[in-house]
Structures are given as C-alpha cells and as structure tokens.
C-alpha cells in the first residue's frame, strides 16, 4: 500500500481495536484529510469518533489534551508540521509537562500527526522539517516513519503509548508504496532499523532522507563503497545502541537530515557518538543537512537546498577520501 494509505490503515486498526481512540482535526472527516491520509475513516467509524474541527490549532490541541486527560486516546491532525508553532505553548508547556507536574496522576495518551518536510514546492511556511524543534521539548516522544510498514506499526505503538507522541508523516513519501504485514501490526517506539548492511561507513538518516541515503548507497556500491544505512525512525526515544554497534563496525559516520543545519538532530547524534564511541571512530562525524535558510518554493532552489541522493553520495565519497 502507499504511505498515505498506511496512515488510514494504521488508524483504522487502532480505532477498530479500541473504542476510546478518536480522530480530530481540520478536514479529517468528509474530505479524508488534506493529504487524503484519513480517507474512509468517517464512513467506517462515524462522526462521533472522526470529527472535523475549526481552523484553530489551539482548539485542536486543547481538545485533544482534555480528551486524553479524561479517558480517551485522541489522535489530532494539524495538517502541516509548520503549524505546530501556532500552538507551541499548548504542546511544549501543557501537553509535554502535565504528567510530570501531576506526579503521574494525569497521563496524556495522545498522538499529534503532521505532514512534515519539503520537496513539494509549498514554500517556506509549509515545508519545514520540525522534528528537531519537538525533540528539544522534554516530555514528548518524536516519531518519523519512512515506509508504509513503519507507518502502520509505529502509529499503532504511538496510539497505545501513555505519553504524548508527535507523529511526523513525510509529505514527500505519501505517494510511495511498500509491503505492509497482514493482520494486526504493532511496532516498538525507540527502535532504529538497519535498512542496508555495510562495512565502510554508517549513514544515519530519518524519514525522506532514509530513502535518499539508500539511493546514495546504491550509487556508491558501484564504486566499491559499502555503506550501512540506519533509519532512526524515532528521535525520542533514540536508539543509540543500534547506532553504536554500526559505528564500531565501520568507524566512519555520516548523518543525513532535512532540518536546517544549526542545532539539527544530527548534531545531537554526532555529539553522543563522539562522547560514547570516540575510540571506534576513524574520522570525524560528518553532517549532511539543509542549509540554515528558509526553504525556497522555486523548484531549482528547493532541490538545491534539500539533500539529494547525489549530494549525499558526493559527501560520503569526499569524506572517505
């Protein structure tokens, strides 16, 4: 199935299993979502459990928070990830801290879904990758799936989790397709996946960049360079065990991220590697990122800003000398 179909499939699986799971957001019902990722859910589960909301991110998150505090397991959609900035006070100061500030008396089992990232010519206000924003807030779990199977399995795990989970769906991946296990599929948050084993270097990526890292690895294989590609899949929890095992094997590390370079998640991963795996390294960790600029809408400029498979391959080639 496609990545967008996997979103609906994952939600349908959990809504059929648990009547406390509800879906709210702008156009999630009759329209099937602005990206058509919730198509068919209104017809299947009815208007009491699939609710369209006003165009108010504060209202959506506020309603989801209240619902989670009083026994439901809401899934809230904010359309574009950029719009989390509109309700950041609720997300960072209320949702993320309620369980801590009530000493565990109140839990918030809610999921917030976003369309994340660029590549679709939506301009600077609708194309940002915001996972590093959210990673910096204590109390939030941050998940970024890159395959349809991961969408279904990680979405199920997120819905069942008792903490708030920020679930970032990559807009550029919605039309891509892949195999999804039959029957109930539940994955585990905080587990990275080795998408391609290799021995010459470790390429650590996330979301859309995981696919581009794989494409770069295929290009380099023809030149005799054997890349191991690790898809982190989530940033909080962060699976450094898988990363460390790869670093010990290859000795050379590249991170690939769509975030602007300054304070991106790759910097945190590189810092942990330098602290905990220093003697396994044969060279400094190299970061491949989007430059620290607002993302342009023009085709050629956006393509130049976001790391492509060719740019990833070139950086690895240079880094390996």
Separation of alpha carbons 69 and 85, rounded Å: 23
Q: Calculate the dihedral angle through the C-alpha atoms of 28, 162, 144, 175, rounding to the nearest 10 degrees.
A: -30
Beta bridge partners of 168: 114
Separation of alpha carbons 93 and 131, rounded Å: 17
Contacts of residue 222, Cβ cutoff 8 Å, sequence gap at least 6? none
To 10 degrees, what angle do helices 309-319 and 208-221 make?
60
Active site residue 126: yes
Sort strands 73-80 and 50-52 into parallel, antiparallel or unpaired.
unpaired
- Among 88, 126, 185, 292, which one carries the catalytic annotation? 126
* Helix residue spans in 177-207 (DSSP H): none
CB 156 within 8 A of CB 185: yes
On the question of a cis peptide bond just before residue 162, with omega within 30 degrees of 0, the verdict is no
Separation of alpha carbons 138 and 124, rounded Å: 27
Q: DSSP string of 77-118?
A: EEEEGGGGGTTHHIIIIIITTHHHHTTTSS----EEEEEE--
Total Cβ atoms within 10 A of residue 261: 15
Active site amino acids: 126
């Amino acid at each position: 199935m496609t990545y967008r179909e996997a979103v609906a499939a994952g939600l349908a699986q959990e809504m059929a299993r648990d009547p406390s799971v509800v879906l709210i957001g702008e156009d999630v019902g009759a329209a099937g979502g602005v990206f058509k990722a919730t198509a068919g859910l209104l017809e299947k589960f009815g208007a009491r459990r699939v609710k369209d909301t006003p165009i108010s991110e504060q209202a959506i998150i506020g309603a989801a928070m209240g619902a989670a505090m009083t026994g439901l397991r809401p899934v809230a959609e904010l359309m574009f990830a950029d719009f989390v900035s509109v309700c950041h006070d609720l997300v960072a100061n209320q949702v993320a801290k309620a369980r801590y500030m009530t000493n565990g008396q109140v839990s918030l089992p809610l999921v917030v879904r976003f369309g994340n990232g660029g590549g679709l010519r939506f301009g600077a206000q609708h194309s940002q990758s915001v996972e590093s924003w959210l990673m910096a807030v204590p109390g939030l779990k941050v998940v970024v799936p890159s395959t349809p199977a991961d969408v279904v399995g990680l979405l199920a795990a997120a819905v069942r989790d008792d903490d708030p989970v920020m679930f970032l769906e990559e807009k550029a991946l919605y039309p891509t397709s892949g195999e999804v296990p039959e029957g109930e599929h539940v994955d585990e948050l905080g587990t990275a996946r080795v998408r391609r084993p290799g021995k010459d270097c470790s390429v650590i990526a996330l979301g859309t960049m995981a696919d581009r890292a794989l494409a770069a690895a295929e290009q380099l294989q023809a030149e005799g360079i054997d890349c191991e590609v690790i898809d982190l899949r989530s940033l909080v929890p962060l699976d450094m065990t898988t990363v460390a095992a790869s670093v010990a094997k290859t000795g050379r590390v590249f991170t690939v991220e769509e975030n602007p370079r300054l304070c991106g998640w790759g910097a945190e991963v590189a810092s942990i590697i330098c602290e905990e795996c220093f003697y396994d390294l044969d060279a400094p960790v190299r970061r491949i990122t989007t430059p620290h600029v607002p993302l342009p809408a023009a085709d050629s400029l956006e393509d130049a800003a976001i790391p492509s498979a060719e740019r990833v391959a070139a950086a690895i080639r240079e880094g390996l000398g």
